């Protein structure tokens, strides 16, 4: 199959036009058609010579994301189930905040990481997404927002999949998103979230970007984390903390820890005390995002009581660890990662 037209970064296009003996400014023109004018066919690139348009059509294809389902929440969150060319399904979410629109993207079809509280991993990993398939999610979201004159102002890579297991595609995606000739999303408005693929935390720290990193920690110690997240057996808690220390030292950036609270499992005051101690001693430049876990039908977890969520937060703050409780988006439309796709797979499609 031909590569997707969105697979190339600006630098890749510069190389491509050079290799195809076209003038250098063509790279900017192609990028402009794709990301500023957001056209959907080669014929629409009217300022390119016909020969060049034909060459592009011979070598590339556009990504088609077919909308299979759209669920709109009362709070403005819109969750999409898109079908890819090969009929696999992925999810993309647009969230409305008072500071703008944020898009949550998927990086893999399914996931092999196996977090026990997550619906995305139920059918395992089917395949990685190509960079163009990740980019197409944001372009599609932006096209929808164009109708009301709004723009995508931030991106979170927290949809289906482990982005650090599809690292090169994720980096290409990021390069296109932040490029000033393209969608030009501010680096500080993008967050990548990982379950803790340690070698790639080091790699990301060395990338020299301003993009935010979030670590899904979800437990304050090795034993409990291994129970909740099998990835912890591959990359133990102590190694994860070391990698996080390196990231903060290398980048000088504040690290976010995601902590999904599960009733009676990891939400007791002693868990909060233990987490506070680890972070205070190792990574004081951090922020903890407490997430009351969404009920996943296929799993046993229940929500933490409201008072217990506040107690957990207070314990962290008393220990000088900045902590917030994540505002829930679209809980009335199964907006937690993978729930819509899981329902779709159940219904006999993919």
Active centre residues (catalytic): 91, 337
Q: Is 174 near ligand SF4 (CB under 6 A)? A: no
Calpha distance 191→257 (Å, rounded): 12
294 is in an annotated binding site: yes
Q: Is 166 near ligand SF4 (CB under 6 A)? A: no
Alpha helices (H) along the chain: 10-19, 25-31, 50-59, 131-146, 167-178, 198-205, 222-228, 231-234, 237-251, 269-282, 306-318, 339-346
Please spell the DSSP secondary structure of 99-154, one letter per residue: TEEEEE---EEE-SS--TT-GGGTT-EEEEPPHHHHHHHHHHHHHHHHTTT--EEE
264 is in an annotated binding site: no
Q: Is 293 near ligand SF4 (CB under 6 A)? A: no
Calpha distance 53→40 (Å, rounded): 13
**Contacts (CB under 6 A) with ligand SF4, residues 270-289:** none
Helix (H/G/I), strand (E/B), else coil: 66: strand
Buried b (16+ CB within 10 A) or exposed e, 59-76: ebbbbebeebbebebeee
Q: Is 113 near ligand SF4 (CB under 6 A)? A: yes
Task: Report in angstroms how near the CB of residue 9 gets to ligand SF4 at its nearest.
Answer: 25
The 10 Å Cβ neighbour count of residue 141 is: 24
Nearest CA among 166, 190, 259 for reference residue 220:
259
> For ligand SF4, which stretch binds (CB under 6 A), given 78-86, 154-162, 319-327, 339-347?
154-162
Q: With CB under 6 A as the rule, give the number of residues binding ligand SF4.
A: 12
Task: Report in angstroms how near the CB of residue 66 gets to ligand SF4 at its nearest.
Answer: 22
Q: Kindly tell me which residue out of 133, 162, 258, 308 binds ligand SF4, with binding defined by CB under 6 A.
A: 162
Binding mask 177-196 for ligand SF4 (x = CB under 6 A): ------------------x-
Task: Report in angstroms how near the CB of residue 65 gets to ligand SF4 at its nearest.
Answer: 19
338 is in an annotated binding site: no
Q: Is 120 near ligand SF4 (CB under 6 A)? A: yes
Question: 196 vs 220, which CB is nearer to ligand SF4?
Answer: 196
Which pair of structure tokens corresponds to residue 216? 């899904």
Q: Is 111 near ligand SF4 (CB under 6 A)? A: yes
Q: Is 219 near ligand SF4 (CB under 6 A)? A: no
Residues of the shown chain interacting with ligand SF4 in the complex, contacts defined by CB under 6 A? 111, 113-115, 118, 120-121, 160-162, 195, 337
């Amino acid at each position: 199959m031909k590569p997707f037209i969105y697979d190339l970064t600006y630098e890749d296009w510069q190389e491509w036009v050079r290799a195809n003996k076209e003038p250098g400014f063509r790279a900017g023109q192609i990028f402009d058609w794709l990301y500023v004018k957001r056209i959907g066919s080669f014929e629409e690139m009217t300022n390119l010579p016909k020969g060049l348009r034909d060459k592009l059509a011979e070598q590339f294809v556009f990504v088609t994301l077919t909308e299979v389902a759209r669920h709109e929440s009362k709070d403005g969150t819109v969750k999409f189930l898109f079908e890819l060319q090969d009929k696999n399904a992925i999810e993309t979410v647009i969230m409305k905040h008072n500071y703008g629109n944020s898009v949550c993207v998927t990086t893999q079809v399914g996931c092999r990481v196996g977090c026990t509280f997550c619906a995305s991993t139920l059918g395992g990993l089917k395949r990685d997404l190509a960079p163009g398939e990740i980019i197409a999610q944001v372009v599609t979201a932006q096209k929808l927002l164009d109708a009301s004159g709004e723009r995508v102002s931030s991106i979170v890579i927290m949809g289906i999949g482990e982005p650090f297991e599809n690292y090169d595609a994720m980096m290409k995606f990021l390069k296109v998103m932040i490029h000033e000739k393209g969608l030009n999303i501010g680096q500080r408005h993008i967050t990548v979230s990982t379950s803790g693929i340690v070698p790639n935390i080091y790699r990301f720290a060395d990338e020299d970007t301003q993009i935010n990193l979030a670590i899904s920690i979800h437990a304050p110690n090795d034993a409990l984390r291994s129970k909740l997240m099998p990835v912890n057996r591959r990359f133990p808690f102590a190694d994860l903390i070391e990698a996080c220390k390196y990231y903060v030292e290398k980048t000088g950036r504040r690290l976010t820890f995601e902590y999904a609270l599960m009733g009676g499992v990891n939400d007791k005051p002693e868990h909060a005390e233990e987490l506070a101690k680890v972070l205070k001693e190792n990574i004081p430049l951090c922020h903890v995002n407490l997430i009351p876990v969404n009920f996943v039908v296929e799993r046993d977890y229940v929500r933490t009581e409201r008072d217990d969520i506040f107690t957990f937060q207070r314990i962290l703050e008393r220990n000088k660890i900045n902590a917030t409780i994540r505002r829930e988006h679209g809980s009335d439309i199964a907006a937690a990662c993978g729930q819509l796709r899981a329902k779709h797979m159940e219904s006999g499609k993919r």
